[in-house]
Structure 1
């Protein structure tokens, strides 16, 4: 009985974490669709640096999730 309760709690926590990720992905997609709230005529190197920073952080996540980069087996 205790093992089942623990499994149920783990499943609940997993679903909650997945929902949190889904919300973040939806928000990032919307921001990207809006060109990260930057008008093409206003783009400068600071915007490039910011997007490269975001890309690096996302690469850490995708490398870990897909076992690529430094996480490759």
Structure 2
């Protein structure tokens, strides 16, 4: 009986160790994916900042409704992303 109890305890310890190791590997992979996506996100933001500084290629002397509509659409998409992150509007809790 004592031998059987030790065997169960060893199996439980081994299972917990395996779970902990899998959880640690999963967390490492999750972090790597997160950091990869964050780097891409940051690069896109930098490009957009530069494009914004250059009026998105629009000449202020000749800008027409097409450029204004494009910028309104792009702004709405960014607002939706910000609302998701900050849980505003339709994303509020």
Q: How big is the alpha-carbon RMSD for the aligned residues of Structure 1 and Structure 2?
A: 0.7
Q: Which has the larger radius of gyration?
A: 2
Alignment match, 1:35: 55
2:37 to 1, 17, 20: 17
- Unaligned residue ranges in structure 1 (runs of 5+): none
Alignment: residue pair count: 73
Q: Does 1:52 align with 2:72?
A: yes
Structure with bigger RCO (C-alpha 8 Å, 6+ apart)? 1
Which residue of structure 1 aligns with residue 91 of structure 2? Answer: 71
**TM-score between both structures, scaled by the size of structure 2:** 0.75
Q: Which stretches in structure 2 are left out of the alignment for 5+ residues?
A: 1-20
Moved over 4 A (4+): none
